[in-house]
Amino acid sequence: IGGTEEYKICQGIKSGRITKPVVSWCIGTCATMFSSEVQFGHAGACANQASETAVAKNLALKEAGAFVPKSFDELGDVIKLPSYASKFIEMCLMVTADHGPAVSGAHNTIVCARAGKDLISCLTSGLLTIGDRFGGALDAAAKQFSKAFDSGMLPMEFVNKMKKEGNLIMGIGHRVKSKPNLILNVDGFIGVAFVDLLRNCGGFTRDEADEFVEIGALNGIFVLGRSMGFIGHYLDQKRLKQGLYRHPWDDISYVLPEHMSITPSVIVGDGDTEEGEDFTSSSHCTELSRRQNEQRKQGLFCDVTLAFSSGVATGNVQSCEFSAHRSVLAAATDYFTPLLGGQFSESLSGRVEMKEWSAELGPDPETVESVIQYMYTGEIRVSTCNVHEVLELADRFLLLHLKDFCGEFLKKKLSLANCVAVHSLAHMYTLDQLALRAADMIRRNFHKVIQDEEFYTLPFHLVRDWLSDAEITVDAEEVLFEAVVKWVQRNTEQRGRYFEELFRILRLPQIKPTYLTRVVKNEALVAANEACLRLVSDAVEGHAIRCENLKSADLEFWSSYMASFQPRFGQNMDVIMVVGGVSEGGDYLSECVGYFIYEDRWVNLPHIHNHLDGHAIATTESHVYVAGSMEPGFAKTVERYNPNRNTWEQVSNLTTRKHSFGLTCIKDILYSIGGHGNFSPGFKDVSVYEPEPDKWHNLESAPKILRDVKAVSVEDRYVYVMARTPVDTDNEDGLKTVTTRYDTESRQWQDVDSLPLIDNYCVFQMAVASTNFYHTASCCPKSYTVRDEDAKQKISAHISDEILESLPPEVTSIEGAAICHFDEDVFVIGGWKNSDDVDKQYRKEAYRYCAERKRWMLLPPMPQPRCRATACHVRIPYRFLYGCQRYPMPQNLARQRDRMQQMQQLHRRTLTLRRQLQSQIEC
């Protein structure tokens, strides 16, 4: 109690400065039980105002988002570990508590206790024996096993590698009486299990888990558990009143040299053949290298000096020197063998000068020290801060294993933010696998990479290579033109001479004619170059030829011209993707199709893994999500499509089986709203899916049931929902249409008159809102960047049907259509004509409202009719749209289809037998 420091914590949580979970409890709440001014706190503490009381602070912390229990008694429940983790730690303490009185730690404690020492002295005496040879191998075992696991080794590969290198495996098993060697001892088991717990429980990042091992937390578990055993031995000795301990003579006696006159025949025996065993000390090499490294640090027996120079280019030369042993360096790497063992001046002088480093100031002395230590001990810590210098030193000194490790380390740390720099490093040090991995990431994300300043520091040859790559992912050729101009303008004096060569690589026919004439032609770098101007003119002329009758054109010219018109394989193209649904005969369609807008044709896309009917669809920046279905077996499933890889993958299931619900994306998080179940009048629930942990969790429910949900979002916060809600639960048709707004931050609902009429998509929905066409259709959600205040101004109860004027009247009588948007255009796809299950006319037709022309257009028909599908706009690389693609049906659906066909054949056979039997009876 007292003071206001806790409110700073509240502010830190709300502002996002504190990101980790906070568990808190302010003591002194019992003061509220007294009517008089009694306060409970630390000496001298008091609450001078209501906000300083424990109750007020607990309430404020809870409102801010901290985990605050209802009372102090429940604090343990809030902070406790998962049951499996608590049981595991309890087991660790139990198995490490005591291994009998014969082990060195317990023995020391007993000796001290019998010498009359106090508890603390006896406990300390026992703890001092804990180290690598007794009980202290947990951390070392965890480090070794972690490195082996991270490098992808199998257990046997790890054991063979350590054996080959002569390194001791910490935590390895040993014989126990008559039993053979165990795989691991107690230290090893706890070390390996603790690493697994830290890595996979979800409570720690990778770096945090590694830090726990690094700082000795696991040995701390052993010390904690063994302390209980030591205290038990101390109490036993005191309780039994044991006297001073005297060590047995045969355990400490030794044989003097003059008593060692034993002849070989005494050991072997007359007439017996000589027998022997090979002995290898696994710890000898490790201990030898460790001691040599210590001698190097102390300057003992050193016979060579390594001088690392910096500032050579500027003339301000500085040198950092390290002493070492030439025999160790020559054995560690082939770089030093001829340098220190031949007729070079370095061999005679004992001094090696290291110059010409990538950094002006030369490598960091700490990094140099760690690499030299690696040459002695084979151990080094590589981090994101020092990996560049470690890699440079490993390449210089021909430390191939260390160089390969740096490559693998950079593979794991590869991200969109560093892929350009890592790709340059990989080329510089010939790390081919790393270069391929980085190049693949750059290629798939090139449209994002060119937004990063790192790209504009690349040399000409790398920029040229990337622009020549047909597989790079780009949104439009115009973006590449702007990137070339930006790269040249960074240093026009030096880079200007490369502009024409880079400009020729661009696919100018892919650029719109208006952009060519208004932007490209007027760019100073283009205007000053006659060859570039000619290329622009040819591209504009090509666009004109394309619009005319091309039959009379020269065939050779036309084929080369069309090749230049073809987009890059990596260029993202606009596609209206249609997912799931039902076709004639009630067959579920797993193969997706897409309307390729640029080429005005339908293309095949990969199959989904589920039977989707009445499902929801939503798009995020990187994926397309579909969820739910009327088919009970698939009603909880969620799949997502990755356009960059053209693949579907299943993610975490919904918490409830449902269909006809709303699915929309707010700040890269999916919101599932309402819905309908096969045995339920509908749902009020609101649930959230977070892609990173791949989990759904429920929020507070909506105030009413929401079915047949359509949604649009505003300001990446507010969701406008149009749905139907039951007014008569006993009557299926007793539904009314409602429009409401959901605030994802305050989680409040508010009824509104209509969707905000922001563009054609909202206007079209409101124009058909009262029709069965709209109620049975699926609508892809759309996100608007306008402010919510502006959106509110566009809400209106008076809706114009002007947008329906050029739409054939029969379209609005269709049921089960898919509605989606692309910019200002609206698409209506598929459906069925009659609602009678026997006489449904499934539709292939697709319609597009062209905002530019302000009229509806009939598109080419789909490959096969479908209804109750969903559709959305997605950008897919051209490589997946080129030509005629075919995709196999997923194995689970293929097996289900085969079973269904077998059942149908069996059914037909049964009917045939019945008819034959009936005929015989009639005869």
Number of residues written out for the chain = 923
**Cα gap 107→130, rounded to integer Å:** 12
Task: Look at residue 619 and give its three-state secondary structure.
Answer: strand
Residue 552's pLDDT band, with cuts at 50, 70 and 90, is very low
pTM for the model stands at 0.60
Domain ranges of the chain: 5-79, 100-247, 283-380, 445-570, 572-889
- Residue ranges of E strands in 484-631: 572-579, 591-596, 601-607, 616-619, 624-627
Task: Tell me yes or no: is domain 445-570 CATH 1.25.40.420.
Answer: yes
What confidence tens digit (pLDDT) does each residue in 869-891 have?
Answer: 999 999 999 999 988 888 888 87
The topology (CATH level 3) of 572-889 is Neuraminidase (2.120.10)
> How confident is the model at residue 551, as a pLDDT?
42
Q: Assess contact for 714 and 697: CB atoms under 8 A.
A: no
pLDDT of residue 381: 94
Q: At what angle do helices 138-150 and 217-239 cross, to 10 degrees?
A: 150
pLDDT band at 35 (very low <50, low <70, confident <90, very high): low
Question: Helix (H) and strand (E) counts for the chain?
Answer: 35, 25
Q: What pLDDT does residue 505 have? A: 92
756-793 per-position pLDDT tens digit: 999 999 999 999 999 999 999 999 999 999 999 999 99
CB atoms within 10 A of CB 168: 18
- Distance between terminal CA atoms of the chain? 101
Question: For 5-79, CATH number?
Answer: 3.40.50.261
Which pair of structure tokens corresponds to residue 717?
């916060």
Q: What's the confidence (pLDDT) of residue 518?
A: 92
Considering just the CA atoms, what is the radius of gyration of the chain in Å? 38
Average of pLDDT values for 649-662? 92
Q: How far is the C-alpha of 619 from the C-alpha of 626, rounded, in Å? A: 9
pLDDT in tens, 129-139: 887 777 777 88
| CB distance 696 to 688 below 8 Å | yes
Higher pLDDT, 376 or 311: 376
* Distance, CA of 46 to CA of 39 (rounded, Å): 7
pLDDT digits (tens, 9 = 90+) for 194-252: 888 887 777 778 788 888 888 888 888 889 999 999 999 999 999 988 888 887 776 67
Give the mean pLDDT of the chain: 86
Q: What architecture (CATH level 2) is domain 283-380?
A: 2-Layer Sandwich (3.30)
Task: Characterize the bridge pairing of strands 591-596 and 572-579.
Answer: antiparallel
Residue 592 sits at φ, ψ, to 5 deg, of: -90, 155
Instruction: Report d(CA 833, CA 840) in Å as an integer.
Output: 6
Name every residue whose Cβ is closer than 8 Å to that of residue 612 and which is 6 or more positions away in sequence.
579, 580, 581, 588, 626, 628, 629, 631, 634, 869, 870
Yes or no: say if 637 and 919 are a contact pair by the CB < 8 Å rule.
Answer: no
